[in-house]
Amino acid sequence: MPNQPDVMEKLVSLAKRRGFIFQSSEIYGGTGSVWDYGPLGVELKRNLQERWWNAMVRSRGDIEGLDSAILMHPRVWEASGHVSGFVDPLVDCRNCKKRFRADDPKMKGTPGTPDAQCPACGMKGTLGEARQFNLMFRTFMGPAEDSASVVYLRPETAQGTYVNFLNVQQSTRQRIPFGIAQIGKAFRNEITPGNFIFRTREFEQMEMQFFVEPGTDMEWFEYWKGERMAWHRGLGLAEDRLKFHQHTSDELAHYARAAFDVQFDFGGSLGFQEIEGIHNRGDFDLTQHQKFSGKKLEYFEQGANKRFVPFVVETAVGPNRTLLALLVNAYREENVAGETEGRTVLGLHPALAPVKAGVFPLVKKDGMPEMAKKIADALRPSFSVFYDDSGAIGRRYRRQDEVGTPFCITVDGESAAGNSVTVRERDTLQQQRVSIDAVASFISERIAT
């Protein structure tokens, strides 16, 4: 029995209604498992990405940033093993024309045999034999659509980092151990995408490759496991919804010597699932690129006068999937003492919340709207605010609770004389009077963590 409730359906509806996430090309019936981020979704995703960039790049002296291209030389993907190894076994049903992963637990019998039963239409004997299906999207570069012009949409950002290893190391004069981090799009032609933005065909990754001396790799692997789990906790993800999963030898990717996933409990039947992978990739990738490009990718350690191919410890997290974890973790419905109507709250970490403060005039008269607009304009350069003067004040609070806004500032009858406003806190519902001059610092201090 799942411990955590299944809130996915409610979230999909809230995300659309309030402008977090829309289905791609919706007016044409939608594109399979591709999603667009609306005004609040893009703010939330950017806040998450900035938090990662600050933790992984800006606040450290030993990690450099990079933004490599999506399209790369096709040999990159031969060297990396993705052309031959990035495959899932796929089964077609001749009757309903649907496709499944051969390891789909809902499938009965062995595909290709008369007793095998299609998990969608229930027909027996219509499933073909399993065949290997490459998950990379292929396209053509330039006007000729022939085998010489095939390129791939990258399935991970990591390879762009490996081929730039020496460019970054030599231009920054970093010494091992050091890392290279990047945020960017990745594409996988997933056979079974779904669960909203959990598994999609176009997504983003925030990946960091840490280059270390061989022999020190497992020490760094443990270090990064600790750092990354602490980062997820710092997002406000509940302690009991986070755990590590160690890959068995059957699960290990073709490049990995050791791997741990950070898993989050999404609730319902989805339960614990990977949000980040931490991998010890050894010297697999750099050695492969040396072989295929014919160029040395060695590090020269001056003091010791020695050359070696570094080992790599990788941390790879998806902002889309982590954003879903944030929404699931934050969603709650509750009763409010003394009120008949309950409320829906997104208890997002204030630093991640897409809107930091709602600004309201209590009523639309007596100069209150003008004063509230002035306050909103003064706060805008510091953080995102939302001005709202429509409907009862209670409804305006509820609308902000539902999108996770941590503070609501209200201009009321005392504001003009006392040069002050009330600030209501989302989770405690407590209100306090704050001088207008102090509102910006009051909120900044509370969202800075």
Binding site for ligand GAP (CB under 6 A): 156, 158, 188, 190, 199-200, 203, 205, 207, 274-277, 314, 316-318, 320-321
Closest to 295 measured CA to CA, from 177, 167, 174, 153:
167
Instruction: Specify the residue for token string 């910006």.
Output: 440
**Of 81 and 109, which has the nearer Cβ to ligand GAP?**
81
**Cβ 274 to ligand GAP shortest distance, Å:** 5
CA distance 218 to 240: 26
**Of 278 and 368, which has the nearer Cβ to ligand GAP?**
278
**Of 52 and 299, which has the nearer Cβ to ligand GAP?**
52
**Of 274 and 425, which has the nearer Cβ to ligand GAP?**
274
Q: In the complex, which residue's CB is closest to ligand GAP?
A: 318
**Cβ 144 to ligand GAP shortest distance, Å:** 30
**Cβ 314 to ligand GAP shortest distance, Å:** 6
Q: What is the secondary structure of 217-243 as a DSSP string? A: HHHHHHHHHHHHHHHHHHTT--GGGEE
Q: C-alpha angle 261/267/273, rounded to 5°? A: 15
**Of 264 and 387, which has the nearer Cβ to ligand GAP?**
264
Q: What b/e readout covers 162-197, taking b as 16+ CB neighbours within 10 angstroms? A: bbbbbebbeeeebebbbbbbbbbebbbbbbebebbb
**Cβ 139 to ligand GAP shortest distance, Å:** 18
Query: 21 - beta bridge partners?
Result: 37
Phi, psi of 79 (to 5 degrees): -60, -40
Closest to 92 measured CA to CA, from 123, 121, 130:
130
CA distance 446 to 425: 10
Q: What radius of gyration, in Å, describes the C-alpha atoms of the chain?
A: 26
Q: What b/e readout covers 370-383, taking b as 16+ CB neighbours within 10 angstroms? A: ebbeebbeebeeeb
**Cβ 253 to ligand GAP shortest distance, Å:** 7
**Cβ 249 to ligand GAP shortest distance, Å:** 17
**Of 314 and 388, which has the nearer Cβ to ligand GAP?**
314
Is the backbone peptide bond immediately before 177 cis, with ω within 30 degrees of 0?
yes
**Of 53 and 442, which has the nearer Cβ to ligand GAP?**
53
**Cβ 200 to ligand GAP shortest distance, Å:** 4
CA distance 422 to 358: 12
**Cβ 254 to ligand GAP shortest distance, Å:** 11
**Of 283 and 314, which has the nearer Cβ to ligand GAP?**
314
**Of 126 and 195, which has the nearer Cβ to ligand GAP?**
195
**Cβ 31 to ligand GAP shortest distance, Å:** 14
